[in-house]
Amino acid sequence: MGKGFGGRCDCLCFASRPAVESLDCGGEMRQPPTEHQPNITIVAEKANVTSIEALEDFRTALLRYRDRAVQALDDVGGEVKRTRDWLAYDRRMFWEGEVKRGQRRLEQAEAELMTSRFSALKDDHSVQQLAVKKARRLLEEAEGKLRAVRKWCRDFDGVVEPAARPLEALRERLSHDFPKAVASLESMIQALADYSGRMPAAVEKRPEAGGAAGPGGEGGAA
């Protein structure tokens, strides 16, 4: 193998070629000798490192994705908390108040119906009876709403937690695994940038076939 910088030999293998080839840091590509082919050294133009900018763009896109994903997870978590508080405080207190008001309306309507029945001046009590029925119906509706709210307060975490568990797993990956992936990508970009920066700027052209220089500096023998 050819000598690299500082006496080291850093080889980059190209597995896509049929024969195993390697490129040393001196810019020479070597092919292993075969039964019908001698050991040949070919001067390589340079390693095909043309995607550093694409890797940097990919890193930028990853970071943008991470920021948006974290923001979306925060929004979902905030919405879950607001819904839980809305059920536990706003809706529960509202329907508890509606039940109390419905009980007072029903008591008042029943009292008016009782007064109407004991009144000697009034034989028709249909208006008071309708008021009692309406007050009782509104009270039953409020009691049903309050029962539903209390049930949701008890069951909310059990219903939401299974759906939110994958989101927490994603948050865990974004917090722990994602920085490692970005750091690995940054190391890859830096390594490629260092490698491409130490390749020779000028490339020696390959001699044409039959035009190899002879001992006297002239072309091939006549």
Per-position pLDDT tens, the chain of length 222: 444 444 444 443 333 344 334 344 444 444 455 555 444 444 445 545 566 888 888 889 989 999 999 999 999 999 999 999 999 999 999 999 999 999 999 999 999 888 888 875 666 778 888 999 999 999 999 999 999 999 999 999 999 988 888 888 898 888 888 888 889 888 888 888 888 775 433 333 444 444 444 444 444 443
pTM of the predicted protein model? 0.53
**DSSP letters for 143-170:** HHHHHHHHHHHHHHHHHHHHHHHHHHHH
Q: Which fold has domain 52-197?
A: Helix Hairpins (1.10.287)
* Sequence ranges of the chain with CATH classification 1.10.287: 52-197
**Within 13 Å of residue 75, how many CA atoms lie on the same side as its CB?**
6
Residue tagged 């850093």 (tokens): 10
* Separation of alpha carbons 113 and 85, rounded Å: 41
